[in-house]
Every structure is written in C-alpha cells, then in structure tokens.
Amino acid sequence: MEMPKVCRCDVAECAYNDSRLCHAIAITVGDASHPRCDTICICEESNVNLNNRAGVGACKTIACNFNRGLECSMSEVSVGYCQNEVDCLTFQPR
C-alpha cells in the first residue's frame, strides 16, 4: 500500500502549512475513535521544507471505514477543522 498524500490542509496557523499544503514528511492521525491530526504544530517559527508533501504515515482511527491495519487506504486525504478540532476530513465512520 502506498502512503496516502495530504492533498489539502485548511489549518493556516500550523507551522507545516503553506498555501493550504502540508509540508511535514508524514502526519499521524487520531486515536481509536477520533480522526484528530496529531502532527499539528502551532508555533511562531517555521523552517519547513516546502519540497515535502505530507503523507499519512499512520492512522490510529480504527473506527474509520478507510483504515486497514492502522494505515489509510485512500490515495489522498484532506485535513481541517471539525467542531474546533483539527481532523482528517476524509474520515468515514464504519
């Protein structure tokens, strides 16, 4: 399985975000039931490599229909706000 890419991130204040793209090497998503982005970094200084395009390295949200063995089976995901929390917006409950 190939690592899914983060195709869009609407969390402008995250240090990894530039022009709605995530530039972390990989993100980690959630816990067993909540698809929260665990990689968000709110800080003043950002020295991210703009050549990186984030992938989903691990997804711990086993309640998601796309989770296969703690990995995401989608080709790409979107990240953004859901009820004041930063979540994987591609999440689909089983």
Q: Which two tokens stand for residue 2?
A: 């190939």
Residue 94 included in any domain = no
Please name every residue paired with 77 in a beta bridge, in sequence order, or none if there are none. Answer: 6
- Decide if 70 contacts 60 (C-beta within 8 A): yes
pLDDT tens, position by position, 56-89:
999 999 999 999 999 999 999 999 999 999 999 9
Full residue range of the structural domain in which residue 39 is found: 5-88
Residue 66 included in any domain = yes
Number of helices (H), then strands (E), belonging to the chain: the values are 0, 9
Count up the domains in the chain and report the number.
1
pTM: 0.91
Residue 84 included in any domain = yes
- The pLDDT of residue 2 is 86
Pick the closest to residue 28 from 6, 11, 7 (CA basis): 6
> How far apart are the C-alpha atoms of 48 and 38, rounded to whole Å?
17
Query: What percentage of the chain carries pLDDT values higher than 90?
Result: 89
Residue 80 included in any domain = yes
